[in-house]
Amino acid sequence: MSIMKTLETRNGELYLGGASVSKLAKKYGTPLYLMDEGEIRANCMRYESAMRKYYGENAIVLYASKAFSCKAVYRTVRDCGLGCDVVSGGELYTALAAGMEPEKIFFHGNNKTEAEIREALTAGVGRIVLDSGFELGTVDRIAAELGVTARVSVRIKPGIDAHTHDFIATGKIDSKFGVALENGEAIAFIGEILKAPHTELCGLHCHIGSQIFDTRPFVRAAEVMMDFIAEIRDTYGYTVRELNVGGGVGIKYLDSHDPLTIEENVKNTAEAVLAAAERCGIPAPRLCMEPGRSIVGDAGLTVYTVGSVKEIKNVRNYASVDGGMTDNPRFALYEAAYEAVLPCRPDAERDTVYTVAGRCCESGDILIRDITLPKLTPGELLCVLSTGAYNYSMASNYNRVPRPPVVFIRNGEDRMVVRRETYADVMAKDLD
């Protein structure tokens, strides 16, 4: 059970964070998202203490809330001293409602609406992370209307190939996010920002991709960004005081995965930034990191009930569960891999290969392709592991399937933080 740190077998049953998974499934029904709040806190503290140890006080950890956004998560990370990033008015609204300090919120997005920019500036967010020249015009105009100065950062494509899935690799020039270094777009854009009367350039940002296991692309990105800060100083005589190196640290979905520890990654990145600052003769910038997956990913699992089991001789065995792409679209999006366990008999011999399918009317509605499990019986529970990130936050009501509840576990105690949707919730916006 090494995939999730706080998952263990006790008396032949699966426990997460000290609570029996099958008991919680009985209490709340399935499908069910279970999140070990203790592990979310531990991951936050791993980032916090590594940042202090390797970089000092001039640093902030921003939880990338797209990984999992709900009031309880914002409260948890805030409690641990983190800020957050948001990419929509909805995430901003939730973060503020949960009590996140506006100045600790960074607002991202490659196509923010005017309304969202207005909401962010009115709330007084810490940074608007500019993604394009088009956006600069809008931000500066709205800041003028509101009588405020927009404190911005700029999303840069550092030209790093992080060897992850194309849909989650973002550091290359061929990406919809940010402005590129190698064609001169970024340095010209900085000049435009410095001329904008209602906008203050506070920082640079990059995010090279997600689910990355290798430390070198992070270190390289940090070096490239520091070189760019030096180039800005040389070109415009302006020293940028903040560097946000994004998120992207991978987690263990399969036994074969060997991710970096949080501490290793913070150490390597922090040392690269400090060394580059010295090499370039610039003051060490305020260092921001934006982890999402590595805060919540391995804290969560999803519990399903197995229904129809179809054994198609010499072809494939399909085991369908009572959820699917509506609560976890990651296989459908980019064939993400997962491990599964039977919570009532976690150590039973695995001798049958199944494709675990969802219940939606879509052939691509698969959770796991070809996993070896014990022979499954309809009605029994099955857990998909490490679903804490990009599952609930990507869930949908396709086929009008209500979304599952989210239950937090802390020191063995459970509390529901998002209730199960009802049919009435799903229909609530339909007009007669």
Q: H or E element: which one contains 279? A: helix 262-280
Choice from 83, 203, 217, 247 touching ligand PLP (CB under 6 A): 247
Q: Which residues of 231-258 are buried (b: 16+ CB within 10 A; e: fewer)?
A: ebeeebeeebbbbbbbbbbbbbbeeeee
Reference 151, options 188, 191, 102, 223; nearest CA is 102
Q: How far apart are CA 196 and CA 171, in angstroms?
A: 26
Q: How far apart are CA 210 and CA 115, in angstroms?
A: 29
The tokens of 258 are what? 């060997």
Reference 276, options 230, 339, 218; nearest CA is 230
- Specify the stretch interacting with ligand PLP by CB under 6 A; choose among 218-226, 287-295, 369-377, 396-404: 287-295
Residues 197-216 touching ligand PLP, rule: CB under 6 A, are 207, 210
Query: From the CB of 292, what's the least distance to ligand PLP, in Å?
Result: 3
404 lines the binding site for ligand PLP (CB under 6 A): no
Query: What is the C-alpha radius of gyration for the chain, rounded to an integer number of angstroms?
Result: 23
Task: State the binding string over 64-83 for ligand PLP (x if CB under 6 A, else -).
Answer: x-xx----------------
Q: How far apart are CA 166 and CA 168, in angstroms?
A: 5
Query: From the CB of 100, what's the least distance to ligand PLP, in Å?
Result: 16
CB-CB contact of 361 with 39 (8 Å): no
Query: From the CB of 36, what's the least distance to ligand PLP, in Å?
Result: 18
The tokens of 142 are what? 């709205």
Residue 248 or 404: the one with the smaller Cβ distance to ligand PLP is: 248
Query: From the CB of 137, what's the least distance to ligand PLP, in Å?
Result: 22
Residue 158 or 291: the one with the smaller Cβ distance to ligand PLP is: 291
Choice from 292, 300, 324, 343 touching ligand PLP (CB under 6 A): 292
Choice from 83, 217, 248, 300 touching ligand PLP (CB under 6 A): 248
Q: Which of 80, 280, 361, 383 is catalytic?
A: 361
CA angle, corner 32, sides to 27 and 37, nearest 5? 90
- Other beta carbons within 10 angstroms of residue 180's beta carbon come to 17
326 lines the binding site for ligand PLP (CB under 6 A): no
- Specify the stretch interacting with ligand PLP by CB under 6 A; choose among 18-26, 50-58, 61-69, 410-418: 61-69
- Specify the stretch interacting with ligand PLP by CB under 6 A; choose among 44-52, 72-80, 186-194, 246-254: 246-254
294 lines the binding site for ligand PLP (CB under 6 A): yes
340 lines the binding site for ligand PLP (CB under 6 A): no
Query: From the CB of 132, what's the least distance to ligand PLP, in Å?
Result: 14
Query: From the CB of 198, what's the least distance to ligand PLP, in Å?
Result: 24
Told to judge if 361 belongs to the known catalytic residues of this protein, a careful annotator would answer: yes
172 lines the binding site for ligand PLP (CB under 6 A): no
Query: From the CB of 167, what's the least distance to ligand PLP, in Å?
Result: 10
| DSSP 8-class letter at 346 | T
Reference 71, options 393, 417, 420, 409; nearest CA is 417
386 lines the binding site for ligand PLP (CB under 6 A): no
Query: From the CB of 316, what's the least distance to ligand PLP, in Å?
Result: 32
Q: H or E element: which one contains 51? A: helix 37-55
153 lines the binding site for ligand PLP (CB under 6 A): no
- Cα end-to-end span (Å), the chain: 50
CB-CB contact of 156 with 225 (8 Å): yes
Please name the amino acid found at residue 313: K
Residue nearest to ligand PLP (CB): 247
Residue 178 or 343: the one with the smaller Cβ distance to ligand PLP is: 178
> Total residues at the site for ligand PLP (CB under 6 A)?
17
CA angle, corner 417, sides to 412 and 419, nearest 5? 120
Sign of CA dihedral 74, 77, 83, 84: negative
Residue 112 or 359: the one with the smaller Cβ distance to ligand PLP is: 112
Choice from 38, 246, 259, 388 touching ligand PLP (CB under 6 A): 246
Residue 291 or 346: the one with the smaller Cβ distance to ligand PLP is: 291
- Other beta carbons within 10 angstroms of residue 148's beta carbon come to 13
Residue 30 or 391: the one with the smaller Cβ distance to ligand PLP is: 391
Q: What is the Cα 111 distance to its own chain's centre?
A: 19
Catalytic residues: 361
Q: For binding to ligand PLP (CB under 6 A), which residues are involved? A: 64, 66-67, 85, 108, 207, 210, 246-249, 290-294, 389
